[in-house]
Chains A and B, each alone.
Chain A
Amino acid sequence: MALPTRTTPRAPAGRPTSRRPAARHFRLGGIDPATLGVVVLWVSVLVALPIAALLALSLSGGPQGFLAAVTRPSALTTLGLTVALAAAVSLVNAVMGTVIAWVLVRDDFRGKQVLDALIDIPFALPTIVASIVLLSLYGPDSPIGVHLAGLRAGVMLALAFVTLPFVVRAVQPVLRELDTEAEQAAASLGAHGWTIFRRIVWPVLMPAVASGTGLSFARAIGEFGSVVLIGGNLPGRTQVASQYIQQLIEAGDQAGAAAVSVVLLAISFLVLTTLRVTSSRMQQREEAA
């Protein structure tokens, strides 16, 4: 808690909070050392130490051991498949998410609220329930005769389900704030619908679409629960990286599991960091403009 000591001079009214009295600098800018210690301890025990231990475990066989674990044919196959499936699903999301957001903002019809509410369900549902839910319609005893269990299409379906909200929820607010005047002006000058979309709407939507697509990619490459039941865990065909890691753990190869985990973690960390850096750069540019 940020509390001034008794010796701190009274701040005159209207003083901006960013300007701090010099006396408080040694207090780490308003946080006393004990509080900071608690925070560091908590974050370390909960997050930093497990991740550090994971890194150490992945390197327990030396750098060669790490390389050998992640370049085994089985590891390369499953990592490649995971990245490919995640990329494909993210592309589907980029297109369908934009279409859905467009319909939800620009169209008006009965039942629109229901569609809008459906978007939130995938984030609220536990992933294992998502798997069962999809299996009840597309599983072995499918009432409509569509059998996707054990197929890549089934894995993609599961990934598309759990990542559905990312692009929709990123694009919707941007589209809502987009002024239609420029579009009307272009139309009055004779521009066609597609030209207007490409030249006027898309440049504004693009950052939001890219950010939603990146988030859904980062989520999809680590996805586990929703894929477990519908994917069938077939090595080389439907087994994704997180299932491969679990299999290594069950086989007692902890160092190998840790090495593949580190690769997975590095990919999603890289994607998320890139997104954060580009979005903060764009914000700065906007503020400068």
Chain B
Amino acid sequence: MRQSRTLRLSLRALATVYLGLLVAVPVTMILVRALAPGLRTWWQWVTTPAAISALNLTLLIIAIVVPLNVVFGVITALALARGRFPGRAVLQTLVDLPFAVSPVVVGVAMIALWGTNGWFGWLPQHGIRVVYALPAMVLATSFVTMPFVVREVEPVLRELGTDQEQAAATLGASRFQVFSRITLPAIRWGLTYGVVLTISRALGEYGAVLLVSSNLPGVSQTLTLLVHGRFVDDHNVYGAYAASTVLMGLALVTLLVTTLLDHWKKQR
């Protein structure tokens, strides 16, 4: 379609202004505000004991969630790609369900199941604290990130088919050999992509974790809860800006990695 020069330029201006006011200027603004008092001040605020503990807790949750989602996600993807069993459609729906659930609703669901009045409410009586402790934060994060690995790996498995695996098995390869020599190499990029998405979402999860954390600074605050706590409870706006830039930096790293993976996928 041939556009008149005026139309083309005005659409271009409209898109640029919209994206500028919505994304570019605010993102720049927070960097300016966080770094304005100097790098030293910034560094002091991102290395307070509470901030270090929040970073550690976020990394700990990621370190637990990623292996869980990788192992069970790959098995689930295998079942969905190759299995013909009753209830397969239900399983598909359940795998996609986390995408439809608000983070706060995830938190409420965790309380409904694991809380003291919940179905598994007898656990706390035996000294196993789930809600308002690390296990529920892990479960909530695992819930919201569950579809990523499955949905990245399943189509690759479908495309791969089972010919090569059957050939290897008939030649006497063990199940482990077949998996590590044929299946795993085939899915490794999809799996990597799924893992990066999982890390990105786990880093930023806030609503679900807020509801099931005891939210004590230096003990049970993740980075996102730290940002919230500093801003709302401590009225420490600068501290919240500084902590946000750390999360933003980590988020941009994951974005960069996904972009590179996309690029690589296209080139192939």
What's the Cα separation between A30 and B81 when bound, in Å? 10
Query: A126-B247, A193-B1 in contact; A17/B163 too (CB < 8 A)?
Result: yes
B22 touches A245 (CB 8 A): no
Q: Which of B18-60 contact A (CB under 8 A)?
A: 18-19, 22-27, 29-30, 33
Q: Does B64 contact A (CB under 8 A)?
A: no
Annotate B161-176 by CB proximity to A: 1 below 8 A, 0 otherwise: 1110110011000010
A163 to chain B, nearest CB (A): 11
Complex Cα–Cα for A200 and B178 (A): 51
Q: Which residues in B have their C-beta under 8 angstroms from that of A125? A: 204, 247-248, 251
Contact status B85-A246, CB under 8 Å = no
- CA–CA, A31 to B162, complex, Å? 12
Whole-angstrom CA separation of A193 from B232 in the bound complex: 51
Q: How distant is A269 from chain B, measured CB to nearest CB, in Å?
A: 5
Min Cβ gap B46→A in Å is: 14
Q: List the A side residues contacting B224 at CB < 8 Å.
A: 126, 128-129, 225
Give chain A nearest CB distance to B86 CB in angstroms. 9
Q: A99-B11, A201-B1 are in contact. Are A228 and B113 (CB under 8 A)?
A: no
Given A17-B162, A50-B109, CB of A242 within 8 Å of CB of B104: yes
Taking CB atoms, residues of chain B closer than 8 Å to A109 are: 12
Q: Residue A100 at the B interface, CB < 8 A?
A: yes
Q: Are B26 and A134 in contact (CB under 8 A)?
A: yes
Contact flag A107-B166 (CB < 8 Å), given A224-B206, A265-B105: no
Min C-beta distance of B222 to chain A, whole Å: 10
Q: Which residue of A lies closest to B176 (CB)?
A: A1
- Say whether B231 faces chain A, with CB atoms less than 8 Å apart: yes
Give A242 to B23 CA distance when docked, in angstroms.
24
Q: Which of B22, B75, B110, B146 contacts A35 (CB 8 A)?
A: B75
Interface check A206, CB cutoff 8 A: no
Bound: A222/B111 CA distance, A: 18
- Residues of chain A within 8 A (CB-CB) of B67 are none
A164 and B22 in contact, given A38-B72, A183-B1 (Cβ under 8 angstroms): yes
Do B100 and A50 touch (CB < 8 A)?
no
State whether A246 and B22 are in contact (beta carbons under 8 Å apart), knowing that A2-B162, A193-B7, A261-B108 are contacts in the complex. Answer: no
> Quick check: is A68 within 8 A (CB to CB) of the other chain?
no
A46 touches B143 (CB 8 A): yes
**A136–B75 CB distance below 8 A:** no
Q: Which residue of A lies closest to B246 (CB)?
A: A129
Q: Which of A39, A54, A120, A127 touches B108 (beta carbons < 8 Å)?
A: A54
Q: Which residues of A contact B247 (CB under 8 A)?
A: 125-126, 128-129
How many whole Å from A232's CB to the nearest CB in chain B? 11
Given contacts A47-B94, A223-B102, whether A124 and B112 have CB atoms under 8 Å apart is no
Number of B interface residues in the complex (CB < 8 A): 97
On whether the beta carbons of A261 and B161 are closer than 8 Å, the reply is: no
Contacts of A197 in B (CB 8 A): 1
Assembled-state Cα–Cα distance A100/B142 (Å): 34
- In the bound complex, what is the Cα–Cα distance between A1 and B83 (angstroms)? 9
**Across-interface contacts of A56 in B (CB, < 8 A):** 112, 119
B101 touches A35 (CB 8 A): no
Task: Answer yes or no: A4 CB below 8 A from chain B CBs.
Answer: yes
A261 to B19, CA, bound (A): 32
- Which of A29, A40, A128, A241 is the most central at the interface, judged by chain B CB atoms within 10 Å of its CB? A128
Q: Which residues of B lie under 8 Å from residue A258 when comparing CB positions?
A: 108, 112
Using CB atoms, name the residue of chain B closest to A224: B207
With an 8 A cutoff between CB atoms, is B255 at the interface? yes
Kindly provide the distance from the CB of B170 to the nearest chain A CB, expressed in whole angstroms: 6
Q: Cβ of A264: which chain B residues have Cβ within 8 Å of it?
A: 102, 105
Contact A48 B78 (CB under 8 A): no
Q: A residues 28-69 with Cβ under 8 Å of B?
A: 28-31, 35-36, 38-40, 42-43, 46-51, 53-54, 56-57
Q: Are B94 and A103 in contact (CB under 8 A)?
A: no
Contact status of A137 and B94, CB under 8 A, knowing A115-B15, A246-B210, A265-B102: no
With beta carbons under 8 angstroms apart, the residue of A128, A164, A254, A265 that contacts B101 is A265
A246 touches B1 (CB 8 A): no
A/B interface sample: 30 pairs, CB < 8 A:
A1-B179, A2-B165, A2-B166, A17-B163, A29-B82, A30-B83, A38-B72, A40-B91, A47-B94, A47-B95, A47-B146, A50-B112, A124-B251, A124-B254, A126-B223, A128-B206, A132-B227, A136-B29, A143-B29, A164-B22, A193-B2, A222-B100, A223-B102, A224-B207, A229-B228, A241-B102, A242-B103, A242-B104, A261-B109, A268-B100
Chain A residues proximal to chain B, CB less than 8 Å = 1-4, 10-11, 17, 28-31, 35-36, 38-40, 42-43, 46-51, 53-54, 56-57, 96, 99-100, 102-104, 106-107, 109, 115, 117-122, 124-129, 132-134, 136-138, 141, 143, 157, 160-161, 164, 180, 183-184, 187, 193, 196-197, 200-201, 218, 221-225, 228-229, 241-243, 245-246, 249, 254, 257-258, 261, 264-265, 268-269, 272
